[in-house]
Amino acid sequence: MATKVRDIMTGSPTSVSPELDIVTVARAMRDEQIGAVLVAEGDDLKGVVTDRDLVVRGLAAGGDPAQVKIGGIASKVTATVRPDDSTEKAAQIMRERSVRRLPVLEDGRPVGIVSIRDLASGASGEDAAAALADIGAARSTT
């Protein structure tokens, strides 16, 4: 089984500018068949937006979706991991922060995203299974 984040992460994450409107980002997510994007200015990570964020913070909030900027609905990044961190560390952070996705940074630049699904496919042992159950039961913030 995988022991490093790099072995299970989704590499080359899609990043968008905080100035893009939510309609443009939603279409990009649809076209790329992804459920989350990183919001960044250059290599500076500003946040994460999920398909759920688009609905709950974007569309349900009202206003013109073509005018709502993605940076305004992005979840703040509260934690990250490195590619060489253990999958156990990623699961622990997800459990502690109640998040389902973590950006993966290398030298301060986003290089991937690791999700609860990635961990589930690479998890081994009783501790990993317990951590995943805790994450799944927690209220998601990303």
pLDDT tens figures, 19-58: 999 999 999 999 999 999 999 998 899 999 999 999 999 9
The CA-atom distances, in angstroms, between 139 and each of 15, 17, 71, 107, 134 are 25, 27, 22, 30, 10
Q: How far apart are CA 141 and CA 75, in angstroms?
A: 7
Domain ranges of the chain: 5-137
Q: How far apart are CA 104 and CA 90, in angstroms?
A: 10
pLDDT tens figures, 56-114: 999 998 889 999 999 999 999 999 999 999 999 999 999 999 999 999 999 999 999 99
pTM of this prediction?
0.82
Mean pLDDT of the chain: 88
Give residue 122's pLDDT.
Answer: 75
Give residue 121's pLDDT.
Answer: 83
Secondary element (H or E) of residue 46 = strand 44-50
Domain 5-137: assigned CATH number: 3.10.580.10
